[in-house]
Chain A
Amino acid sequence: MSTTKNLLVGIFDDDHTLIHAVEHIRHDGYKIGDVFTPFPVHGLEHALDLRPTKLHTAGFMFGATGTTFALSFITWISTINYPVNIGGKPHFSLPAWIPITFEMTVLFAAWGMTLSFYYLCKLWPGKVNKIVDPRTTDHLFAMTFDLDGKDEAYIDKVSGLLKSNGAIEIYKKEL
Chain B
Amino acid sequence: MSHFESPIREPLITGNKTWKDITNDIVVNTTGDIKPLWLISVLISAAVAAFGVFCIGWEVCYGIGTWGANKTVGWAWDITNFVWWIGIGHAGTLISAILLLFRQKWRTGVNRAAEAMTIFAVVCAGLFPVFHMGRVWDAFFIFPYPNTRGPLWANFDSPLLWDVFAISTYFSVSLLFWYTGLVPDFGTIRDQAKPGTTRWKIYNVLSFGWVGEAKHWERWESLSLILAGLSTPLVLSVHTIVSFDFATSVVPGWHTTILPPYFVAGAIFSGFAMVLTLMLVARKVMKLEDYITIAHVESMNKILLLTGSMVGTAYLTELFVAWYSGSIYEQYAFANRALGPLWWSYWIMMSCNLIFPQFFWFKKLRRHIGFTFFISIVVNIGMWFERFVIIVTSLYRDYLPSSWIDYRPTWVEVGLFVGTGGIFMTLFLLFCRFFPVVAIAEVKSILKISGNQGKKQQLEEVKEQKVYENVEINY
CB distance from A64 to the nearest CB of B (A): 13
Contact across chains for A99 and B211 when beta carbons are under 8 A apart: no
Interface residue count for A (Cβ, 8 Å)?
A: 65
Q: A117-B180, A123-B210, A136-B212 are in contact. Are A40 and B217 (CB under 8 A)?
A: yes
Q: A40-B441, A117-B219 are in contact. Are A139 and B156 (CB under 8 A)?
A: no
Interface centre among B165, B195, B448 (most CB of A within 10 A): B165
Q: A45-B214, A103-B169 are in contact. Are A77 and B20 (CB under 8 A)?
A: no
Contact across chains for B218 and A114 when beta carbons are under 8 A apart: no
Encode A17-48 as 1/0 by CB contact (under 8 A) with B: 00000000000000000111111111111001
Contact across chains for A35 and B214 when beta carbons are under 8 A apart: yes
Tell yes or no: B85 within 8 A of A by CB: no
C-alpha spacing A124/B207, complex, angstroms: 8
Q: Of A52, A125, A134, which is within 8 A of B208 by CB?
A: A125
C-alpha spacing A114/B219, complex, angstroms: 10
Contact across chains for B205 and A125 when beta carbons are under 8 A apart: yes
CB distance from A13 to the nearest CB of B (A): 9
Tell yes or no: B233 within 8 A of A by CB: yes
C-alpha spacing A82/B150, complex, angstroms: 8
Tell yes or no: B44 within 8 A of A by CB: no
CB distance from B7 to the nearest CB of A (A): 19
Tell yes or no: B66 within 8 A of A by CB: no
Tell yes or no: B183 within 8 A of A by CB: yes
C-alpha spacing A121/B165, complex, angstroms: 30
Q: Which 10 A-B residue pairings sit nearest by Cβ, starting from the closest?
A: A127-B209, A139-B19, A134-B191, A123-B208, A99-B162, A129-B209, A96-B157, A39-B441, A35-B214, A39-B445
Binding site for B on A (CB under 8 A): 15-16, 34-45, 48, 50, 52-53, 55-56, 59, 63, 73-74, 77-78, 81-82, 84, 86, 93, 96-97, 99-100, 102-104, 106-107, 109-111, 113-114, 117-118, 120-121, 123-132, 134-139
Between A and B, 15 residue pairs with Cβ closer than 8 Å are A38-B212, A39-B441, A39-B442, A40-B445, A44-B214, A48-B214, A53-B219, A55-B219, A59-B230, A63-B230, A77-B156, A82-B150, A84-B155, A118-B208, A130-B211
